[in-house]
Amino acid sequence: MNVILRAEKGGGDRRYLTQPRGEGTTWYAVAEVPRTLRRAIGKKRLLKSLETTDLRVARIARWNAVADLKSEIAKHRTPGPEDQDPLLLEAMAFREEFVRADAARRNDLMYQITDRAEEIDLAAGGTRDDYEPFAEPRAATKPATEFVQLASAKVTPADLYIERWLAASTYSERTKADARTALAQFKDSLRPLGRPEGIVRA
């Protein structure tokens, strides 16, 4: 089965997409199961049919499908924010590729990121006339601006990585709860700066 978790160079954006029955057949969304949960779930990856053979349709439909798969995985562990928010999941997928890309590929990705952010902006009630995700004060809506910042690695979502760290740790549930409380207090301290959801990269 040809599983694609990152965009392939020259092959278009096929992240989290697969055609288990071969080219020209139905597209499926795919989510990898963490090694620590494979015994409990009984699989290395989960699939969900997107009910289309059209790659363009599959690209649009995948995010909600992947969010559903992540939610299924989350039932077996402490859920993190990426299990609840399809936009966060999508932005993180862009981010993972962006930080590894060369300058030319980053330029291409920025076009994709800003185009997607404009769609988010319009869905949130913005207009094309005043759309500018990088303006200060920002003309774009908050969801669009946060998507651009996260997808282009301008900010790091601390809570996301805390949950991954805690999931892989051997700490007691009480210690994990203390860590989450400390993080929440830290995020509250950032609110006066207007950055409650992430930490600006140096």
Residues 6+ apart with CB under 8 A from 184: none
pLDDT of residue 67: 86
The reply to whether the predicted model has a pTM over 0.85 is no
In whole angstroms, what is the distance from residue 83 CA to residue 70 CA? Answer: 5
The model's confidence at residue 10, banded by pLDDT at 50, 70 and 90, is very low
Give pLDDT, residue 4. Answer: 47
Q: What is the pLDDT of residue 192?
A: 61
Percent residues over pLDDT 70 in the chain: 73
Half-sphere exposure of 202 (CA within 13 A, CB side): 0
Average pLDDT over residues 15-37: 90
CA terminus-to-terminus distance, the chain: 40
- Give the tens place of pLDDT for each residue, 147-184: 888 899 888 776 666 777 777 778 887 887 787 777 77
In Å, how far from its chain's centre is CA 78? 18
